[in-house]
Amino acid sequence: MTTRTDYIRPLDFKQGRVDMNHGAGGRASLQLIEELFARAFDNPALREGNDGAVLDVPPGHRLVMATDGHVISPLFFPGGDIGCLSVHGTVNDVAMMGATPTALSASFILEEGFPLADLKRIVESMAAAAREAGVPIVTGDTKVVEQGHGDGVFISTTGLGLLPAGRNIGGANARPGDVVLVSGTLGDHGVAVLSQRESLAFDSEVVSDTAALHTLVAALLAAVPEGAVRTLRDPTRGGLATTLNEIARQSGVGMMLDEALLPIQPQVDAACELLGLDVLYLANEGKLIAIVAPEVADTALATLRAHPLGAKAARIGTVQEDPHHFVQMRTRFGGQRVVDWLSGEPLPRIC
């Protein structure tokens, strides 16, 4: 795209607001793209200015495609915002398939009247997250809806990744005897967002764990033989409990967790107590569950712990035969209970 300098004036990123013209596809849309998105996301594919981006695929790879809509409220929360979250969430979905994320697309749905200053902050956070992850945002789209018909900013991101031929990591691969690992403390994102929403202040502020996990996945996969990592999944909406139930169901197995082994920050524990929440159902945005063959469990755990994003990794349970596909947990008090799917009262708009 060549630069055009004939706008009457540059966008006002201090006092300006999104208006319907920014979504109409004409000159105002172009200005928003040029003065905000193209500058922040700058990369060769985007610079072409076409309706789509052209990407190379090295031989010997398959592709992974994943998509996620982001409607988190509030847009800014301790430890992050909808911008970086929308990059991390989709990078992680691609990485959980064992693929190396290579490109993202972004679709923005903006509400008329939204401050351009906030939009800029979000877009720059997104750009920084994409740069840090090494995954460019190669194509995008922006729409605007009338005030009262949206909620500030919604962002849908789609990610592409390269999957080496022969790699097969998925929810259906867990087998009895496998070991369940989690890469760190549970519930941080959920508590950070919910406490901000409830305007609660804790002695020690809990921040979201939002992070791109693809380098952690790469380290893990490099450390153990192909096939030994059965399943990777990030326990976002619905939390650890729901994610493990999904896997149990897909693989046709049961699981037994050990409550005493779950890594939980004390201030998250305290917040859950205060807010009446169960940490097992709280969203995480920078954690993964790895289900691995028993013979590599020690190596896998040590590898996770050696990575900055996995320092608090823990072995939390095992996969077992179970015709009912129940996820169960040995409690701290020596009892045993079924850990069901999330149901009932939802925790809305957590991602």
Q: Considering only residues 22-61, where is the footprint of its own copies by CB under 8 A?
A: 23-30, 48-57, 59, 61
Query: Token pair of 37, please?
Result: 């998105």
Which residues are registered as beta bridge partners of 16? none
- What mask of x and - would describe binding to its own copies in positions 160 to 199, judged by CB under 8 A? xx-x------xxx---------------------------
Q: What count of residues does the chain have?
A: 351
Task: Please report, as residue ranges, which positions from 232 to 291 form the binding site for its own copies (by CB under 8 A).
Answer: 233-234, 236-238, 242, 246, 249-250, 252, 281, 283
Within residues 121-150, the interface with its own copies by CB under 8 A covers 138-146, 148-150
Using CB under 8 A, count the residues that bind its own copies. 89
The nearer residue to its own copies, 250 or 267, going by C-beta atoms, is: 250
How many Å apart are CA 346 and CA 95, to the nearest integer?
Answer: 27
| Residue pair 253/348 in contact by the 8 Å Cβ criterion | no
Please report, for residues 18, 67, 75, 132, 321, the alpha-carbon distance to residue 86 in angstroms, rounded to integers and kept in the order given. Answer: 20, 10, 11, 14, 36
DSSP 34: I
Residues 313-342 that bind its own copies (CB under 8 A): 341-342
20, 200, 218, 223: which one binds its own copies (CB under 8 A): 20
Q: Is 205 in the site for its own copies (CB under 8 A)?
A: no
CB count within 10 Å of CB 245 equals 20
User: What is the DSSP code (8-state) at residue 224?
Assistant: S
Q: For the chain, what is the radius of gyration of the CA atoms?
A: 21
Residues 80-119 binding its own copies (CB under 8 A) are: 93-94, 96-97, 99, 103, 105-109
Side chain identity at 229, as an amino acid letter? V
Q: Pick between residue 3 and residue 204 the one whose CB is nearest to its own copies.
A: 3
Residues 62-81 that bind its own copies (CB under 8 A): 62-71
Nearer to its own copies (CB atom), residue 150 or residue 310: 150
Please identify, using beta-carbon distances, which residue of 5 and 204 lies nearer to its own copies: 5
**Using CA atoms, how far apart are residues 78 and 206, in angstroms rounded to an integer?**
7
